[in-house]
Structure 1
Amino acid sequence: MKARRSTTGLPRAAGDATPGRKNPLGAGTGRRSRVRDWSPATGRSMSRQRARQRAETDQLQQGVRYRRAFVALVGVIVALSAVVVLLGTVGLFKETRSRPLTAEEQNRYKQEEIARRWQSWPTTGIFPEELKYLGLDRTQQYARRVGIAPEARCRDAVDPAVGAILAEHGCVSLLRATYVDQSSTFVFTIGVAVLKDQEARVSAGGDLTQDDRVGVLPVAFPGTVAERFGAEQRQRTGWAGAGPYLVFTTGGYADGRTRAAIPPEEELHSELWPAARSIGNQIAYFLADPPKVPPCTQGNVC
């Protein structure tokens, strides 16, 4: 059997397509293509894909909602913080701006100023070099300071009975100085007991005995007219209250006479105790003298 010839003059293989129908790629229509054909997605795979897309969309929307809530929360916190800062600034301004002192504040200012004087003043300010007193015939005379003793514990500078009372009421410290009168006949020791506040001083004063044989211990200074002034030489003792201070006073003779050496029928020199009391009262007055209070919280201008 002879092979058929194609119109091109080449022999046509058996099984070729009919003439007039050509394969665009030049291959016979009867041959299987080497390229694998992908069938379209099935309905199940499309459902899974749509589910994944919906999950991703939902997750994205949830993240957006969370972000909006977070931003809103931060905004609320910032706003509240701003309000707090603003209110604090306004309150601080009102508190720190200059304004007139109230009566209570003025009184507190005086008490605090007086209570600091035993530390803020020099000892020469508490015990001046000279103090006035009235002598015989009410003539003005001057007592001269002989010396200032070191600061002492309250119990160490007074008699034991007095020291126990001071300790019970919170005595902080005790300052002492010794004076002589203008004629160098009398010697006086002034003791300033520092209580924690005025209320403690009033309470301690109420418990002190009226015995004029006990009180502050004298301070003698060797080489001076007061070198013989000791506890036995005290003729009388007393005290006065001033602010948080108890100001003790004791007086005696510069020649060393003891209290026991003076007969009961013999009276003390008429100038001794008035001079001692005048000196002690002046020191108490200086310590408790009310200070000048500024009219405003920041000075003299409100």
Structure 2
Amino acid sequence: MVKGRRSVTGLPRAEGEATQGRRNPLGATTGRRSRVRSWPAAGSRRRTEAKERAELALLQQGIRNRRVFVTLLGVIIAVSAVVVLLGTVGMVAETRSRPLTPAEQNQYKQEEIARRWQAWPASGVFPEEVRYLGLDRAQQYARRVGIAPETECAKGVDASVAGVLQNHGCLTMLRATYIDQTASFVITVGVAVLKDEASRISAVEELTQDDRVGVLPVAFPGTVSERFGPDQRQRTGWVGAGPYLVFSTAGYADGRTRAAIPPEEILHSELWPAAKSIGNQIAYFLADPPKVPPCTQGNVC
């Protein structure tokens, strides 16, 4: 028995050769790399072209968005520059020196007068000496005895007056006491500070003409005024000036009360004129119109 198979030619071959030498129908040896080139499918090229077109479109959209952004940013910068320029021009026009209008001049005066009670020292509100006219219109001087601490409006006047002042926004009460040139009379002057001139005018309309009520006296121990109290007041009065109500009250330095003087007895002819004149002088100092600068930034427009 013959081992192995015979070839077509009738010659025997080994099993390995038979296995390795087997050919496919086209003549190519099985197990070897094909020499035919592999071509990509037609759909692959279309996908590549579509991808490239999408990337190009995305790039163009980004360029358009960038142009819009740059344009919008330029518009914003331009508008901001115009706003800043207009603001600067307006500020320069507003702050440059120019003549004051009549309304501005009046406002300047009112504000200057209204702040004097704070801006001035106590000796500015109540001078050490105040000039007044005595008998036969002789010029005399009242001397300040002392200045009382600042107090609430209600604590510096009688109750009936306090209600009126509080209803119209009284801010504070300033008081000082004077004696006349002969040291015979004692005069206390009280300055009620209201919010503004309109408030003062409204308060004046409600005040009574009762000369028994008004500012409360201030006595200073060890001086001629030490016996001057509410009962020693012989007469009281007031005068308006700007936002201030200036009260005056006067009595005798010897401590005589009002009740102790008989109705038929006439007060000393100098007592009340001196007190009224001193109160008017202090009111005049407080409300004297200040010199108004001609321009918003001083004397040069």
Query: TM-score surpassing 0.5?
Result: yes
- 2:285 counterpart residue number: 286
In 1, distance between residues paired with 2:262 and 2:39? 141
| 1:250-282 C-alpha deviation (Å, 9 max, x unpaired) | 001000011111111111111000000000000
| 1:101-139 C-alpha deviation (Å, 9 max, x unpaired) | 111111000000000100000010110111111111111
- 2:11 counterpart residue number: none
1:46 deviates by 1.5
In 2, distance between residues paired with 1:36 and 1:80? 72
In 1, distance between residues paired with 2:204 and 2:166? 12
- 2:167 counterpart residue number: 168
| 1:176-216 C-alpha deviation (Å, 9 max, x unpaired) | 00000011100000000000111101111111111110000
| Secondary structure of residue in 1 paired with 2:216 | coil
| Secondary structure of residue in 1 paired with 2:300 | coil
1:41 deviates by 2.9
After superposition, the Cα gap between the structure-2 partners of 1:41 and 1:34, relative to the gap in structure 1 and judged at 3 Å, is closer
1:1-302 aligned at under 5 Å gives the runs 34=33, 37-302=36-301
In 1, distance between residues paired with 2:183 and 2:203? 34
In 1, distance between residues paired with 2:228 and 2:161? 20
Runs of 4+ in 1 over 2 A off after TM superposition: 30-43
1:56 deviates by 0.7
1:37 deviates by 4.5
In 1, distance between residues paired with 2:140 and 2:34? 138
After superposition, the Cα gap between the structure-2 partners of 1:37 and 1:96, relative to the gap in structure 1 and judged at 3 Å, is farther
In 2, distance between residues paired with 1:277 and 1:162? 19
| 1:6-30 C-alpha deviation (Å, 9 max, x unpaired) | xxxxxxxxxxxxxxxxxxxxxxxx7
Normalising by structure 2, report the TM-score.
Answer: 0.88
- 1:16 counterpart residue number: none
| 1:224-269 C-alpha deviation (Å, 9 max, x unpaired) | 0000000000011000000000000000100001111111111111
| Secondary structure of residue in 2 paired with 1:287 | helix
Q: CA RMSD in A?
A: 1.2
Unaligned runs of 5+ residues in structure 1 are 1-29
Normalising by structure 1, report the TM-score.
Answer: 0.88
In 1, distance between residues paired with 2:35 and 2:177? 127
After superposition, the Cα gap between the structure-2 partners of 1:46 and 1:148, relative to the gap in structure 1 and judged at 3 Å, is same
1:31 deviates by 6.2
After superposition, the Cα gap between the structure-2 partners of 1:143 and 1:36, relative to the gap in structure 1 and judged at 3 Å, is farther
1:34 deviates by 3.8
1:40 deviates by 3.0
Q: Which amino acid aligns with 1:88?
A: G
| Secondary structure of residue in 2 paired with 1:226 | helix
Instruction: Count residues in correspondence.
Output: 273
| Secondary structure of residue in 2 paired with 1:133 | strand
Q: Which amino acid aligns with 1:118?
A: W
In 2, distance between residues paired with 1:75 and 1:49? 39
1:48 deviates by 1.1
Greater displacement, 167-176 / 49-58: 49-58
| 1:126-178 C-alpha deviation (Å, 9 max, x unpaired) | 10111111111111111110000000000000001101110110000000000
